[in-house]
Amino acid sequence: MTRHSSKRDLGVFPHAELPVAVAAVIEAIEMDIIRGHILPSTRLIEDHLMEDYDAKRHVVRAALVELQRLGVVVKPPHLGARIRRFDAQSLEALYHFRAVLHRAAVESIALPVPGERLHAVRAAADAHALAASSGDLIAIHRANMAFHRLFFGLCDNPYIEESIRLHDWLSFPARAYAITDQTALSTACAEHAQMVEALEQRDRLRLLDLALGHMLQARRIYEGKYLSR
């Protein structure tokens, strides 16, 4: 099977290009997580996934391997593949580390940002806002991650960039539910625009506040759904 990625996946997945069939199953699983059809700790049974997504077993297995590599799927001993679920302690630890990474990235951004790179970040913010208005959930998810990749990539530290990218994926099972929340989505679009504005104004303190606060709404939604019961 020819290995290539769809155009809207380019620069978003932190992994090598995948066969189209495998990428399609991954996208289908992502969509079902976003929609709440697959919940945290849900067991992912190969036979069910093959039927649900009309995919061959080796394709489903490859998709699960990739999602496990990204941290979206976990495989506890003797329990099979499951969607990652965060308890209060692990969620706190994850968001603490994401805050450390985001702070390090923003503090490393050289201001002023060159015009061409600033334009690319602004275009990514606009693309996310356009996706948000379209209602295409996967497009919203991809555009959001693409914005983060370009924004935090301004730090020009490949180790920080890669760590942020990987933890964006690791946190996906917690962040996913904000994608269908219209208030959270509108806030995210507004914050992206404010981050671009702060870059233009060379306001590092505001950038720090925005980058750290940007994560909190999705976290609160997850806590409300799964940690307040």
CATH number at residue 50: 1.10.10.10
**CATH code assigned at 210:** 1.20.120.530
Q: What is the pTM of this model?
A: 0.86
* Same domain, residue pair 93 and 76: no
The reply to whether 218 falls in a domain is yes
The reply to whether 1 falls in a domain is no
57-70 helix and 20-34 helix, angle to the nearest 10 degrees: 60
Q: What is the pLDDT of residue 80?
A: 86
* Same domain, residue pair 111 and 148: yes
Q: What is the pLDDT of residue 194?
A: 98
Q: What is the pLDDT of residue 5?
A: 39
Q: What are phi and psi of 3, to 5 degrees?
A: -100, 120
Q: At which residue do the structure tokens 């506890």 appear?
A: 76
* Same domain, residue pair 130 and 180: yes
Q: In terms of residue numbers, what domain contains 133?
A: 88-227
pLDDT one digit per residue (tens) for the chain, 229 residues: 333 334 334 445 544 478 899 999 999 999 999 999 999 999 999 999 999 999 999 999 999 999 999 999 999 887 889 999 999 999 999 999 999 999 999 999 999 999 999 999 999 999 999 999 998 999 999 999 999 999 999 999 999 999 999 999 999 999 999 999 999 999 999 999 999 999 999 999 999 999 999 999 999 999 998 987 5
Q: What is the pLDDT of residue 190?
A: 97
Q: Look up residue 144 and give its amino acid.
A: N
* Same domain, residue pair 40 and 104: no
The reply to whether 178 falls in a domain is yes
* Same domain, residue pair 92 and 194: yes
Q: Look up residue 2 and give its amino acid.
A: T
* Same domain, residue pair 148 and 162: yes
* Same domain, residue pair 78 and 94: no
The reply to whether 55 falls in a domain is yes
* Same domain, residue pair 114 and 36: no
When divided into structural domains, the chain yields a total of 2
The reply to whether 2 falls in a domain is no
* Same domain, residue pair 150 and 77: no
The reply to whether 143 falls in a domain is yes
* Same domain, residue pair 35 and 148: no
The closest alpha carbon to 90, from 179, 173, 184, 178, belongs to 173
* Same domain, residue pair 100 and 153: yes
| Residues facing 115 on adjacent strands | none
Q: What is the pLDDT of residue 12?
A: 52
* Same domain, residue pair 118 and 203: yes
Q: What is the pLDDT of residue 2?
A: 34
